[in-house]
Amino acid sequence: MEIKVKKNVLGKNDRLAAEIRKYLSEKGIFAINLISSPGAGKTTILEETCARLKDKLGIAVVEGDITTTRDADRIARHGVPVHQIETQGACHLDARMLENALEHLDLDKVDLLIIENVGNLVCPATFDLGEDAKIVVLSVPEGDDKPAKYPGIFRRAKVLLLNKIDLLEISGFDKEKALRDLAEINPDITVFETSATKGTGMDEWCQWLADRVAEKKKK
């Protein structure tokens, strides 16, 4: 019974996600779903991304948190349209939540939609939101075993942002081991080594986004 209920929930979510994906595609919007553990640096990466791209692309952000609007307030300071979803205990966003959030954004002015999911490596990996790409953030202080321990999200992600790379030497993080595990799980994933606070790798990451937006506009 539990398996049947789970299939029904995911099936309904996936159908709505497909509708959202089609709708965003028709508008030429490239959408990403940013996923990580709490404290990996998603919001700081997002702030730096907005600061670097907001004058080049139309950006809108959907923030997901269990409670508070603190992350949305941080993004709003960059002059980027943002809508906060408070899940009130749910450990992930779902397609229905996103559908409701999109009603609060002027999508005719958007080229790049960034969804910052609730801090969690498990549940957000399962729920499709209609995005073009899942982006996973792994911060060096979390440890090099995360790809092996949480393969679901690393298998589904198109990009890994290996963040807080400036702490590599003092963290004990074995980068080669983490990348070996990652290659076994998802050999096609693109990796950017970043430090959002230092700016390392942010130009390369933002160029990847700009290229994907340009590709989407051509379709």
**Could you state, in order of their start, the residue ranges of all structural domains in the chain?**
2-218
pTM above 0.75, yes or no: yes
N-terminal to C-terminal alpha carbon distance within the chain: 42
Question: Residue 191 in 3-state DSSP?
Answer: strand
pLDDT, position 4: 54
- Buried/exposed 174-203: b ≥16 CB within 10 Å, e otherwise: eeeebbebbeebbeebebbbbbbeeebbbe
pLDDT, position 112: 98
* Mean pLDDT for all residues in the chain: 95
pLDDT, position 7: 65
pLDDT, position 9: 75
Residue 13 has pLDDT above 90, yes or no: yes
Angle between helices 202-218 and 42-53 (to 10 degrees): 60
Region of 79 (left: φ > 0; alpha: ψ -120 to 50; beta: rest) is left
Given pLDDT bands bounded at 50, 70 and 90, which one contains residue 104? very high
Fold annotation for 2-218: Rossmann fold (3.40.50)
Mean pLDDT computed over 9-38 = 96
pLDDT, position 1: 43
Q: How far, in Å, CA of 138 to CA of 189, rounded?
A: 13
Q: What is the chain's Cα-based Rg?
A: 17
pLDDT tens string 67-103: 999 999 999 999 999 999 999 999 999 999 999 999 9
